[in-house]
Amino acid sequence: MLDQAEIVAIIEEATQQRGWISNAYAQVEYLLGDLIIRCRQFPEYAEQTAMFTHSATKRVAKLRAMLNIEGPLSVYAGPIAQVLDAFSANHDIRNLLAHGFCIFHFTPTGDAGLEFQKFERGDVNNGQEPDILIRQTFRLIDLEYFRTQFVAQSQNALELFAQVHFDLGWGELDPATLQEGWFGLEIKEPEIPEEHG
């Protein structure tokens, strides 16, 4: 049976993994928006860049449409499409972790996990209920797996977009200045002095 200190440690570690996942997703989400806004200078993309969207799925759709137009992004169509595919594949996990109600569960044998619950609109036109409760439990090993995936995808996106920036003369992101593994650095926990009894 887990004691209180072990429970708190698991919850804190899970919350840290959840934070890495959210941050890595947000990095890519930002880069997609940045690319859309910067491409306003190209008349080929006027329709797709006229209105900014905060929706991640709409940003993906706009960029996919832009990749189907002959223009400055054409040379990057394959790599950007890969970023969009990876980003889209993680959308549901990120939304559940970011917006889900969280419950901690553990067993007498010491297994533990966090269950996330979130309501989504069902597709009533395809026989679904109007509201669907999504539930999924993540053990620490699951969150570590997703953290690794999200961080690697964020790193790949940053490297690609840095090259796009550099090639198109925007220059804020220079691929020559990026260091390998910048995003996946392990952060040491601060040393906390023992409480005085």
pLDDT of 15-52, one tens digit each? 999 999 999 999 999 999 999 999 999 999 999 999 99
Phi and psi of 119, rounded to 5°?
Answer: -90, 145
With a cut of 60, say whether residue 178 has pLDDT above it: no
The per-residue pLDDT for range 2-19, each reduced to its tens digit, is 899 999 999 999 999 999
What per-residue confidence (pLDDT) applies to 188? 38
| Residue 195 DSSP code | P
pTM for this model (two decimals)? 0.83
**What domain range is 25 assigned to?**
4-99+139-177
pLDDT mean over 102-116: 93
pLDDT confidence of residue 176: 57
Q: Residue 164 falls within a domain, yes or no?
A: yes
| Domain count of the fold of the chain | 1
Residue 23 in domain: yes
Helices of type H across the chain: 4-38, 46-49, 56-67, 77-89, 91-99, 140-167
- Closest by alpha carbon to 1, among 107, 103, 104? 107
Within 10 angstroms of residue 161's Cβ, the number of other Cβ atoms is 25
- Please give the backbone phi and psi of residue 178, each rounded to the nearest 5 degrees, phi first: -75, 140
In a domain, 150, yes or no: yes
- The token pair that represents 1 in the structure block: 């049976």
185 versus 83: which is more confidently predicted? 83
Residue 46 domain flag: yes
